[in-house]
């Protein structure tokens, strides 16, 4: 009997070992040739502003305006991957939104040291050195970094530097010019420059360097048609002063076998070979490297491929050499499913993991909408933990990196609903609904009201209404690695006071490496943030070495116009009340929220930002910092005193917090 028990135990152990081998992917060495040398493309600086003349100038939008993630040629309906419930990590049916208690709103902000308006849509469209040669864009996204006495904000599609007292130290620079390209559109000639999207900013505390990265899509000559090529572009400051000179590198990233890229088998129609496209780049760093992760799609076709990682030596970047090594970690998989939004961790000085000769950690989620991960439910209770090891080898001529991943159990998270917002003045909607004869009448279309300024007839979209704003999906947002712990967050639906609203799920993950360099980890702490009758969206978490951190987000709903908010969080998982850093002054009134412009995905950022700076934390969130009525907007050059443009009224808000 005892022998039978031992045999049964050994059999059970063998099964458990087998299951363990399935879920955490083993260390995967990169193939030879994973490292390329990229020549420097000259130097740059943030140029002084020379604001343009305010007005409506067609085209106001990029002809290939990107209305959804992936597919740079425009929005397409991507086929969902074959549903494969890998190892039981996907729910068999959609999970319910978690029931969450509403958190209180604080009556004061004692930890808020400094705050000021960041870049807004007026700055993006008219306020940069590009003058009138910019398009109207939504969303702004949010690239923020701070260090060495400076704060840098990069958004779609401009950049600016402030001192830590909030004083602007540069004008507003357009990102096309900053990265050495022609302006987005030269309105005097009709020539188009490349599209630059999804900026991120990172301060390297070990070498005192600022690094900004983007994805760039190239055109056929000076036309608006894409030629298939795209790149991950990196600008690194030559010193610790971001107002000075930067060096630029353009890393080819179409991954179709051209320009030294590998061939990842992207297509134009599911069959015909075509270029890939690197979407949603995000940046992090450990002691040895800087890492940019992307989501790779067909550029002209319908499919998603997998997450990619572009790895750079931190010391080499700081030295801005003539030839820069870049190592591509290709086609990430998590338990047999494509990796998606694998967000690299940022480590403050002295905090990076030295396990396995240097380890950079990443977090991801597995819900999605099925188009990327194969999970059709939009819900999950697992997240992905990743480790890129032997990162110290990035300092050698031939880096030898290894990637591992593991699925770990977490609290439930669910793709959130759109965020409703408090009713207020929406002059663009009022204009599109105007049925007066402001511009006369037409025998076919009848009265030519205010809408005739913006659109060709017919006016079949009416009536427009104040929109509900996009609340993101369930992808992982910003990740920090501090005191041996990974901190991340995502948007989620929450059931708060009986209503389904957008809220925040946060995670503290304890990663570890055994003596053989194998990854293990678990969620140590987790929780939710929700506010009754309102929505919280686009969280960004940063944790200080003192165990005190901040979660930044936007707040909107029945009680708030879109506002910049935050909550403090401690390493023990204690979360404070919601603080309103800047209350919104009116509702979102942007063109992507109106059917007449044929986009109708009401965009509200793709991500926020929170970064540490010594014992302080800087945060930046999108909000609406202006309001005006229809008459003021219409007869005041559409800018309401230079606070917005004809097409959008978003803004960003930057705060310094001492938690």
| Bigger pLDDT: 447 vs 74 | 447
What percentage of residues in the chain have a pLDDT greater than 90? 83
Band of pLDDT at residue 84, cut at 50, 70 and 90:
low
**For the ranges 298-307, 365-374, 527-536, which has the lowest average pLDDT?**
365-374
| DSSP-derived pairing of the beta strands 651-657 and 616-623 | antiparallel
**pLDDT of the residue at 78:** 52
**pLDDT of the residue at 594:** 93
pLDDT of 14 over the 80 cut: no
Q: Are 256 and 229 in contact (CB under 8 A)?
A: no
Band of pLDDT at residue 368, cut at 50, 70 and 90:
confident
Query: How many CB atoms within 10 Å of residue 483?
Result: 13
Mean pLDDT of the chain: 91
**pLDDT of the residue at 518:** 93
H helix runs in 513-648, sequence order: 630-634
Band of pLDDT at residue 11, cut at 50, 70 and 90:
very low
Average pLDDT over residues 447-464: 84
pLDDT of 65 over the 60 cut: no
What are the DSSP calls for 23-91, one per residue? SSEEEEEPPTT-EEEEEEEEEE--PPP-----S--S--S-TT---SSS-TTS---PPPPP---GGG-S-
For 448, the enclosing helix (H) or strand (E) is: none
pLDDT, tens digit, 9 for 90 and up, residues 558-613:
999 999 999 999 999 999 999 999 999 999 999 999 988 877 689 998 999 999 99
Phi/psi at 9 (5° precision): -65, -45
CA dihedral 366, 371, 375, 378 (to 10 degrees): 80
Phi/psi at 395 (5° precision): -80, 0
pLDDT, tens digit, 9 for 90 and up, residues 156-175:
999 999 999 999 999 999 99
pTM (predicted TM-score)? 0.93
**pLDDT of the residue at 275:** 98
**pLDDT of the residue at 258:** 97
Q: Is 393 helix (H, G, I), strand (E, B) or coil?
A: helix
**pLDDT of the residue at 76:** 43
**pLDDT of the residue at 460:** 72
Band of pLDDT at residue 21, cut at 50, 70 and 90:
very low
Average pLDDT over residues 239-260: 98
pLDDT, tens digit, 9 for 90 and up, residues 622-657:
999 999 999 999 998 999 999 999 999 999 999 999
Band of pLDDT at residue 85, cut at 50, 70 and 90:
low
Band of pLDDT at residue 189, cut at 50, 70 and 90:
very high
**pLDDT of the residue at 239:** 98
Residue 615 makes CB contacts below 8 A (sequence gap 6+) with: 544, 546, 658
What are the DSSP calls for 587-611, one per residue? ----GGG-GGGT-------S--EEE
Average pLDDT over residues 401-419: 97
Q: What does the alpha-carbon distance between residue 109 and residue 397 come to, in Å, rounded to a whole number?
A: 50
**pLDDT of the residue at 419:** 97
**For the ranges 69-83, 548-562, 587-601, which has the lowest average pLDDT?**
69-83
Identity of the highest mean pLDDT range in 262-271, 550-559, 595-604: 550-559
Q: Are 453 and 438 in contact (CB under 8 A)?
A: no
What percentage of residues in the chain have a pLDDT greater than 70? 91
Band of pLDDT at residue 370, cut at 50, 70 and 90:
confident
Average pLDDT over residues 13-40: 49
Encode burial over 271-287: b for 16+ CB neighbours within 10 A, e otherwise.
Answer: eeebbbbbbbbbbbbbb
**pLDDT of the residue at 30:** 41
**For the ranges 71-80, 306-315, 463-472, 608-617, which has the lowest average pLDDT?**
71-80
**pLDDT of the residue at 49:** 82
Residue 338 makes CB contacts below 8 A (sequence gap 6+) with: 81, 304, 305, 306, 307, 331, 332, 372, 373, 374
H helices then E strands: how many in the chain? 6, 36
**pLDDT of the residue at 83:** 55
Query: How many CB atoms within 10 Å of residue 257?
Result: 13
Q: What does the alpha-carbon distance between residue 127 and residue 362 come to, in Å, rounded to a whole number?
A: 36
């Amino acid at each position: 009997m005892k022998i039978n028990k031992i045999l049964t135990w050994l059999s059970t152990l063998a099964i458990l070992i087998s299951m363990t081998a399935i879920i955490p992917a083993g260390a995967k060495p990169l193939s030879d040739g994973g490292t390329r040398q990229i020549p420097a493309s000259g130097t740059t600086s943030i140029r002084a502003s020379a604001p343009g003349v305010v007005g409506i100038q067609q085209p106001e939008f990029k002809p290939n305006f990107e209305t959804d993630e992936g597919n740079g040629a425009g929005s397409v309906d991507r086929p969902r991957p074959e549903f494969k419930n890998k190892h039981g990590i996907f729910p068999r049916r959609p999970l319910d939104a978690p029931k969450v208690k509403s958190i209180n709103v604080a009556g004061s902000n004692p930890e808020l040291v400094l705050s000021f308006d960041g870049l807004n849509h007026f700055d993006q469209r008219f306020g940069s050195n590009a003058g009138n040669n910019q398009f109207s864009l939504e969303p702004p996204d949010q690239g923020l970094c701070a260090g060495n006495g400076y704060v840098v904000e990069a958004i779609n599609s401009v950049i600016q530097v402030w001192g830590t007292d909030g004083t602007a130290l540069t004008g507003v620079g357009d990102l096309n010019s900053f990265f050495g390209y022609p302006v987005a559109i030269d309105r005097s000639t009709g020539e188009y420059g490349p599209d630059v999207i999804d900026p991120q900013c990172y301060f390297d505390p070990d070498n005192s360097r600022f690094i900004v990265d983007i994805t760039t899509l190239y055109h056929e000559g000076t036309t608006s048609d894409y030629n298939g090529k795209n790149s991950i572009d990196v600008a690194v400051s030559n010193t610790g002063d971001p107002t000075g000179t930067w060096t630029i590198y353009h890393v080819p990233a179409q991954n179709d076998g051209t320009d030294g890229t590998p061939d990842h088998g992207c297509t134009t129609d599911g069959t015909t070979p075509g270029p890939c496209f690197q979407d949603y780049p995000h940046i992090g760093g450990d002691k040895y490297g800087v890492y940019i992760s992307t989501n790779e799609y067909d550029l002209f076709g319908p499919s998603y491929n997998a997450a990619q990682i572009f790895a750079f030596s931190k010391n080499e970047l700081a030295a801005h050499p003539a030839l820069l090594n870049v190592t591509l970690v290709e086609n990430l998989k998590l338990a047999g499913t494509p990796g998606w939004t694998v967000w690299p961790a940022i480590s403050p000085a002295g905090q990076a993991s030295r396990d396995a000769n240097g380890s950079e950690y990443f977090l991801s989620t597995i819900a999605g909408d099925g188009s990327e991960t194969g999970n059709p439910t939009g819900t999950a209770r697992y997240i992905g933990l990743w480790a890129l090891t032997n990162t110290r080898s990035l300092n050698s001529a031939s880096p030898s990196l290894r990637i591992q991943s593991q699925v770990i159990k977490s609290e439930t998270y669910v793709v959130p609903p759109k965020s409703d917002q408090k009713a207020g003045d929406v002059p663009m909607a009022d204009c599109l609904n105007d049925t007066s004869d402001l511009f006369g009448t037409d025998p076919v279309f009848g009265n030519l009201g205010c809408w005739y300024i913006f659109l060709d007839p017919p006016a079949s979209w009416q009536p427009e209404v104040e929109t509900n704003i996009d609340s993101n999906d369930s992808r992982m947002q910003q990740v920090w690695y501090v005191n041996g712990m990974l901190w991340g967050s995502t948007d989620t639906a929450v059931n708060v006071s009986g209503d389904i609203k957008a809220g925040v799920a946060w995670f503290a993950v304890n990663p570890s490496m055994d003596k053989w360099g194998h990854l293990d980890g678990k969620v140590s702490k987790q929780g939710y943030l929700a506010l009754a009758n309102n929505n919280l969206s686009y969280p960004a978490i940063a944790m200080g070495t003192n165990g005190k951190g901040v979660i930044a987000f936007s707040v909107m709903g029945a009680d708030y116009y879109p506002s910049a908010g935050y909550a403090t969080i401690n390493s023990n998982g204690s979360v404070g009340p919601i603080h309103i850093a800047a209350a919104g002054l009116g509702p979102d009134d942007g063109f992507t929220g109106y059917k007449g412009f044929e986009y109708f995905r009401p965009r509200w950022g793709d991500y926020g930002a929170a970064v540490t700076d010594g014992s302080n934390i800087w945060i930046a969130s999108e909000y609406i910092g202006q309001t005006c009525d229809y008459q003021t907007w219409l007869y005041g050059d559409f800018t309401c005193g230079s606070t917005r443009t004809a097409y959008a009224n978003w803004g960003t808000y930057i705060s310094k917090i001492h938690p």
